[in-house]
Amino acid sequence: MISLAIRSVAAPLSASIRRAPVDPHRSSFALQFKRMMASGISGLMKATDFEVRHRTLLHMVIVGLAFLTYVVAPDDIVWLSVKDTPHYHLLERSLFALATLLIGVAAGICTWARAYPESDFSGPSAAIACDGPYRYVRHPRYLGTLLYAVGLGSLAPLPGFVVLVAGDALLVFRLIRRWDALEDAASSAADQPRAPRLLPSLQPFCPAKGLAPDWKKAFRQESGKWGLFVSMIVFTILLIDRVADILVLASLLLWLVLNLPSFTRSQKHP
């Protein structure tokens, strides 16, 4: 009886609620608020002009912070993982060999991408990159950056590895969002099929424009990665920290000498 009485009272009440007119002003305000929140969140996830201009400097800051964690964690992540195993030398050499491979692949991808012009959205009409690796992946340099971060992180302690990989991943994600926003706003971008952002395709997504690669410039700009690749090969064979420190420092100095003039210029595109 009680349940029947409750249902008899609730039924007309729920029906009246369903029949109640919706205030169009309230509905419009709610829709505008949702759009404003979505736009704000999307804007926060895109790189700023400062990040675009100083992305190389920001990457170097992330690397520096990662290796400063040696103050609180004295063992690199590889040694920390293998030091208590019976065949630690073999495992250590194997993991550093894998890291060396990642750095070599990253250097190759970034050099290939540097040899061809990036997409340019600064003019009245957008010029979408369709040569070299840009035919297969939309952001080859950022793919190389992520692989490089993982390989380089093998030399850092566990907290440094997390700082390096997570920091570079966040920076790359924000730069990609900025780049995609520019590409979406370009009228000519919609006329061409888009390659995947970071996972390369086996088939080209656009016909090549026939631009000649500038390999000299590409190897100069990526000389630091190639220097670290050679350093990692030597270190993986010898497993002597002092040798690795000297070679890495030499690689950094070589990169600075070769790229100091261009490093001081502003970068216009993400």
Number of other CB atoms surrounding residue 159 within 10 Å = 17
Residue 187 lies in a domain: yes
Least confident of 138-152, 177-191, 248-262: 177-191
Question: Containing domain of residue 84, as a range?
Answer: 46-214
Q: What CATH number should be reported for the domain holding residue 85?
A: 1.20.120
Tally of structural domains, the chain: 1
Residue 80 lies in a domain: yes
Please give the average per-residue pLDDT across 137-160, as a whole number: 96
d(CA 66, CA 269): 26
State yes or no: pLDDT of 161 exceeds 60: yes
Residue 34 lies in a domain: no
Residue 193 lies in a domain: yes
pLDDT (tens digit per residue) in 194-225 = 788 899 999 988 888 888 999 999 999 999 99
Residue 234 lies in a domain: no
Residue, of 165 and 194, whose pLDDT is higher? 165
Residue 93 lies in a domain: yes
Residue 28 lies in a domain: no
pTM: 0.79
For residue 242, CA distances in Å to 38, 93, 202 come to: 51, 16, 42
What is the model's pLDDT at position 208?
84
Residue 53 lies in a domain: yes
d(CA 164, CA 66): 5
- 129 and 116 in contact (C-beta within 8 Å)? yes
Within 186-239, residue ranges assigned H as helices are: 215-221, 223-238
d(CA 237, CA 253): 23
pLDDT above 70 as % of the chain:
74
